[in-house]
Amino acid sequence: MESLPASFIGMGLAAAGLAGSGIGLGFMFGKAIEAFARQPGAEAQLSKYVWIGAAFVEAIALYGLVLAFIIMGKG
Protein backbone atom coordinates (compact mmCIF):
# COMPACT_ATOMS: atom_id res chain seq x y z
CA MET A 1 0.00 0.00 0.00
CA GLU A 2 1.21 3.49 -0.72
CA SER A 3 2.16 5.58 2.24
CA LEU A 4 -0.32 8.45 1.83
CA PRO A 5 -3.55 6.39 1.87
CA ALA A 6 -2.09 4.25 4.62
CA SER A 7 -1.38 7.35 6.68
CA PHE A 8 -4.98 8.50 6.24
CA ILE A 9 -6.21 5.12 7.45
CA GLY A 10 -3.83 5.35 10.37
CA MET A 11 -5.09 8.81 11.27
CA GLY A 12 -8.64 7.53 11.25
CA LEU A 13 -7.70 4.61 13.47
CA ALA A 14 -5.89 6.92 15.88
CA ALA A 15 -8.89 9.20 16.05
CA ALA A 16 -11.12 6.17 16.73
CA GLY A 17 -9.62 6.21 20.21
CA LEU A 18 -11.94 9.13 20.91
CA ALA A 19 -14.72 6.55 21.33
CA GLY A 20 -13.25 5.35 24.59
CA SER A 21 -13.08 8.86 25.93
CA GLY A 22 -16.70 9.39 24.92
CA ILE A 23 -17.76 6.31 26.85
CA GLY A 24 -15.76 7.52 29.83
CA LEU A 25 -17.24 11.01 29.78
CA GLY A 26 -20.78 9.69 29.49
CA PHE A 27 -20.23 7.23 32.29
CA MET A 28 -18.69 9.85 34.53
CA PHE A 29 -21.31 12.56 34.04
CA GLY A 30 -24.08 9.98 34.32
CA LYS A 31 -22.72 8.79 37.64
CA ALA A 32 -22.21 12.38 38.77
CA ILE A 33 -25.83 13.28 38.03
CA GLU A 34 -26.91 10.14 39.86
CA ALA A 35 -24.86 11.22 42.85
CA PHE A 36 -26.27 14.77 42.76
CA ALA A 37 -29.80 13.40 42.60
CA ARG A 38 -29.18 11.21 45.61
CA GLN A 39 -27.31 13.83 47.61
CA PRO A 40 -28.08 17.38 46.38
CA GLY A 41 -26.13 18.90 49.26
CA ALA A 42 -22.87 17.42 48.00
CA GLU A 43 -23.14 18.98 44.55
CA ALA A 44 -20.76 21.87 45.17
CA GLN A 45 -18.09 19.55 46.56
CA LEU A 46 -18.49 16.83 43.96
CA SER A 47 -18.74 19.00 40.86
CA LYS A 48 -15.13 20.07 41.37
CA TYR A 49 -13.98 16.46 41.05
CA VAL A 50 -16.30 15.93 38.09
CA TRP A 51 -14.60 18.72 36.14
CA ILE A 52 -11.13 17.51 37.06
CA GLY A 53 -12.10 14.00 35.97
CA ALA A 54 -13.62 15.34 32.76
CA ALA A 55 -10.37 17.09 31.89
CA PHE A 56 -8.42 13.88 32.54
CA VAL A 57 -10.72 11.76 30.40
CA GLU A 58 -10.69 14.35 27.64
CA ALA A 59 -6.90 14.37 27.68
CA ILE A 60 -6.87 10.63 26.90
CA ALA A 61 -8.86 11.32 23.72
CA LEU A 62 -6.46 14.10 22.78
CA TYR A 63 -3.50 11.72 23.00
CA GLY A 64 -5.12 9.90 20.10
CA LEU A 65 -5.48 13.19 18.27
CA VAL A 66 -1.79 13.98 18.82
CA LEU A 67 -0.94 10.54 17.40
CA ALA A 68 -3.06 11.38 14.35
CA PHE A 69 -1.13 14.62 13.89
CA ILE A 70 2.18 12.78 14.20
CA ILE A 71 1.07 10.30 11.52
CA MET A 72 -0.04 13.22 9.34
CA GLY A 73 3.44 14.71 9.63
CA LYS A 74 5.01 11.40 8.58
CA GLY A 75 2.63 10.60 5.72
Partner 1 sequence: MTLLLTTVAVHAESAKAVAAAAPRMDPLHHFQVVNYIKISPFGLDLSISNSVIWMWISVAAVFFFFWYAFRRPELVPGRLQSVAEAGYLFIRGIVDENIGSGGKPYFPMVFTLFFFVLFCNWTGLIPGSFTATSQLIVTATLALGIFFLSIFLGFYKHGLKFLGFFVPSGLPVLLLPLMVPIEIISFLARPVSLSVRLFANMTAGHTVLGVLFFFAATLPWVGSWLPFGFSVVFTAVEIFIGFIQAYIFTILTCVYINDSLHLHH
Q: Which residue ranges make up the site for partner 1 (CB under 8 A)?
A: 51-52, 54-56, 58-59, 62-63, 65-66, 69
| Shorter beta-carbon distance to partner 1: residue 1 or 44 | 44
- Residues ≥6 apart with Cβ < 8 Å to 8: 75
Q: Of 51, 72, 60, 66, which Cα lies nearest the Cα of 24? A: 60
Q: CA–CA separation, 50 vs 73, rounded Å?
A: 35
Least distance to partner 1, CB of residue 55, Å: 5
| Shorter beta-carbon distance to partner 1: residue 27 or 51 | 51
Least distance to partner 1, CB of residue 32, Å: 15
